[in-house]
Amino acid sequence: MIAVDRLERHFFPPSLLWLMVGERKPEDFTRSLDLSLGFQYYAEAMHN
């Protein structure tokens, strides 16, 4: 499987609520996409 995304990091949007009230830090709910196993990852924009 191949994944392409403009960003190199993934975050879990519902965790932004915890960030706003100071219960979490960005590193608690973000991770690098290149650490995912089982597929190739490219940090690039798609063009037609």
- Which residue from 46, 39, 15 is spatially nearest to 28, judged by alpha carbons? 15
pLDDT in tens, the chain (48 residues): 777 777 777 788 898 999 999 999 988 888 877 666 667 777 777 777
C-alpha–C-alpha distance, residues 29 and 45, integer Å: 23
pLDDT of residue 18: 92
pLDDT of residue 35: 65
- Length of the chain equals 48
C-alpha–C-alpha distance, residues 25 and 48, integer Å: 37
pTM higher than 0.85: no
pLDDT of residue 17: 92
The overall longest dimension of the chain from CA atoms, in Å, is 41
C-alpha–C-alpha distance, residues 42 and 13, integer Å: 21
